[in-house]
Amino acid sequence: MGSLGAPSAIDFARNGVSLVKIADYDFVEAGTIPRWPLGISAAGRVKVDALARFIAANYPYTRVEKFCAMIGHGQRPPSPQYSDHRDLERLLEADLIHDATAETGIQHFLADFAAERGIPYICVSTTPGAWGGVVFRQLPGAQHACWSCFQHAMHDGIVPTPLADPAGMLQPAGCANPIFTGAAFDIQTVSLMAVRMAVSTLCAGHEKGYPSFDWDVAVVNLRTPKGEFIAPQWHTVKLERHAACHNEIAHSTDLATPKAA
């Protein structure tokens, strides 16, 4: 529920998704308010609590299930509110998984989890400085490209790498990890495309639903290689299964039948 996930959750509620499950272990810090959607009044609150209250107050037809969770986290005692062993299946029981973690290991796990259960998976990330971003969709079924196929396609140049600010990471005083820079209005260019893809995927096969996309990857650049501002330039790819991909979890023909949206 960071700068990509939090506005996405609000957009899902704003546009009528009946149930949104949100997961994050973090709390809102005042320093990140310029790119977090709820403003300074949320500072100090647990992110999932702040978002759940906001959605309940403003979009009452959307129900929110909140999980104060970091999937697979083993560096501190399990939260009394969440444990993978007890709660992971309930968290991920859904018609679609929308992954805004931008963390490779979690992306790999969630994509395989979705493939095993026959549900769509979408991941979204931006680059340092928010010079660019990428959205990827994995559809259920052995014939479709999986997250591992996507990684091969990025490596081979089939999917272009979005531009990044070479100086777009900062080490704040007292913080153990560097954070990326970027303006909210640039980041939301990426998150909005991911929401569009998710809604399109959920509406597939429904008469008068949101139109279907015939591509699975969208890459955007918001700057030139020199850092000059440009209008968003999107490049889309209809991704096929990669010949070098041997992900048996995603490409097995014996997996669960895809769920209806």
Q: Which residues neighbour 165 within 8 Å (Cβ) at sequence distance 6 or greater? A: 127, 128, 129, 130, 131, 181, 223, 227
**What is this structure's pTM?**
0.89
* pLDDT < 70 positions in the chain: 73-80, 168-179, 253-261
Q: Which CATH architecture has domain 94-261?
A: 3-Layer(aba) Sandwich (3.40)
How far, in whole angstroms, is CA 137 from its chain's centroid? 10
**Tokens 């096969």, located at residue:** 205
Q: Which of 190, 238, 253 is nearest to 5 (CA)?
A: 190
pLDDT in tens, 81-122: 777 778 888 889 999 999 999 999 999 999 999 999 999 999
pLDDT in tens, 213-247: 889 999 999 999 999 999 999 999 999 999 999 98
In the chain, CATH 3.40.50.720 covers 94-261
